[in-house]
Amino acid sequence: MQPFTRHQGLVVPLDQPNVDTDQIIPKQFLKSIRRTGFGVNLFDEWRYIDAGEPGQDPRSRVPNPDFVLNLPRYRGASVLLARRNFGCGSSREHAPWAIAEFGLRAIIAPSFADIFYNNCFKNGIVPVVLDERVVDGLFQAVALQPGYQLTVDLVEQRVQAPDGSAWHFDVDAFRRECLLNGWDDIGLTLRHADEIREFEALRMRRFPWLARDLPI
């Protein structure tokens, strides 16, 4: 998992509350359990006018010119500004997979659905909770200033605006450490690789019969 320390990026505003995981990545694209290949279908039913199918070449699709992610001014955005209860609905981890592959490193919202919030940390995305009045102000600033960028600093747990305004956000200490170091669940386990190998070797010495092929 890619570590996250401090990121400055263009902000794209998604001005809609209660965005659920089926809107983030529709159900027809959930046939794969790989973490890749979902970015092209992020917000698929909003980004495209035609219905999409798994494996379809996105160049053959008809983009929705009015959807915010398709607007030229937000091309290359890496910070998503959202409304309350973002990521509600089913617990599919494909949702943060699609967001991460699309290139969004942080999401700022007044609140998140719990399971989605937890899954973000496991996939290198920082979900930032700020007061709703602050988020309202950020939506206004993004609308008025093309090219508006924010800096999300996980080390200092702070969001900073171009005018110098800054807002603190809280993150669980363990999750923060994992993101700073790029540790997902597998990475955390591999930190103890030497102990695991030592345990396996001792186990096989004590119970050598475990290595034998058993009759079917």
Whether the Cβ atoms of residue 106 and residue 152 lie closer than 8 Å to each other: yes
Per-residue confidence band for 212, with pLDDT thresholds at 50, 70 and 90: low
What's the whole-number mean pLDDT along residues 97-124?
96
Residue 123: CB partners within 8 Å, gap ≥ 6?
1, 35, 93, 96, 97, 99, 100, 184
CATH number of 6-184: 3.20.19.10
Residue 146: CB partners within 8 Å, gap ≥ 6?
73
Region for 182 from its dihedrals, namely left if φ exceeds 0, alpha if ψ lies in -120 to 50, beta otherwise: left
What is the distance between the alpha carbons of residues 83 and 19, in angstroms, rounded to a whole number?
Answer: 8
Give the pLDDT confidence of 127-153 residue by residue, as tens digits: 999 999 999 999 999 999 999 999 999
pLDDT at 200: 81
What's the whole-number mean pLDDT along residues 71-100?
95
Better pLDDT: 208 or 124: 124
Whether the Cβ atoms of residue 124 and residue 179 lie closer than 8 Å to each other: yes
Give the pLDDT confidence of 67-79 residue by residue, as tens digits: 999 999 999 999 9
What's the whole-number mean pLDDT along residues 198-205?
81
pLDDT at 19: 98
- Among 102, 97, 136, 139, which residue's Cα sits nearest to residue 116? 97
Which residues are registered as beta bridge partners of 129? 109
CA 28 from centroid of its chain's CA atoms: 20
Q: Is the pLDDT of residue 82 over 70?
A: yes
pTM comes to: 0.87
- Enumerate long-range contacts of 49-54, CB under 8 Å, 24 or more apart: 52/26, 52/28, 53/28, 54/28, 54/29
Token couple for 77? 């955005």
